[in-house]
Amino acid sequence: MEIVTKKIPDSNAVGELDPRVYEILSQNKRNFDEGGMLFMPESESAPVSFPIERLRALMGWANTDVTRTDIQTVYKEIIGTNGSIHVRIYSPSSEGIHPCILFFHGGGFIGGSLETVENPCKALAEKANAVVVSVDYRLAPEHAFPAGLTDCFDAVEWVFLHAAEIGINPGQITVCGDSAGGNLATVCAMMDRDRGTGMINFQALIYPTVNMAGIQTEDFEWSIDQYTINNHRELIIPAVEGLKQGGSFFHDMYLQKQTDPGHHYVSPLLADDLTGLPEALVIVAEYDYLRLEGEAYARKLSRSGVQTKLICYSGMDHAFIDKIGLYPQAEDCMVEIAEAIKRRFS
């Protein structure tokens, strides 16, 4: 397995936040101290009594379009197993047949939107010279597992069957996603393998959640002691542990106690067999609760014979690609995915 650590730009600092992350987390802390932050309820109160739209409104970031060429955007409604699925198709300005990237947004399976990831998707289309199909899958709690996953896999099938219509090579399909979307991407790759459909040829997973059961394995045992923290402890520890504590809330909303959280289509790290999955790029953030399970998943993929590359962004926290245009690492992440895809399909 190839492992790459990306340092904080223009800095030799180790064990601390990127200055841009520090500023935002500091502001978040001030908001919290003033009582302006959203209270995360105990999981038992979800999904009935919690104002889900309030939580969804807090997700994402007002990011920036960093593209330098014309990216055509087409809005389309496709038909899947559970009805219509809305997608946005981003196409580069170059002519010819392109690779395709299906992108599944993050948001804890209960939030996120096509708008949240529009600028990362446009950047990916430009930098990879690929058609990017962003999928508006069904969200929990209104649509529990496996509704959103089914939508994502249906979108893969639609792209494969309509390759000529959208100008892509059906033999060059990548699945990609951030956080919950990274889970959906790698599980779609599992389903593709299990069904023998052979549609997916690469997976790019951005700080994916892959152990929703939180079960210790030979690859994974979570501990705050595994994070190197030389500075900014007052911000890093609450950020990392806050996501850990909120995980059961999101998972209960997604599964609604109808599915075993240890099922391999929910927690792919716990799968007995990862052989036969497509080549993988796994990207993690240093100060993210999901970092340790993402690294464990990369190791398990590699041991299973899957060609795997792991990239860790120093000083970054969870959901950093939402801040494309503000964090240089967000755009660099799109560059790394694009370069990996171009190498894979060259």
- List residues with catalytic annotation: 179, 288, 318
Number of Cβ within a 10 Å radius of residue 314 = 21
Determine the Cα–Cα distance for residues 278 and 193; give it in Å rounded to an integer.
9
| Residue 155 structure tokens | 């979108």
For 56, phi and psi rounded to 5 degrees?
A: -60, -35
User: At CB < 8 A and 24+ separation, what contacts does 38-44 make?
Assistant: 40/242, 40/245, 40/246, 40/249, 41/249, 42/249, 43/248, 43/249, 43/251, 43/252
Determine the Cα–Cα distance for residues 272 and 266; give it in Å rounded to an integer.
13
Determine the Cα–Cα distance for residues 301 and 73; give it in Å rounded to an integer.
34
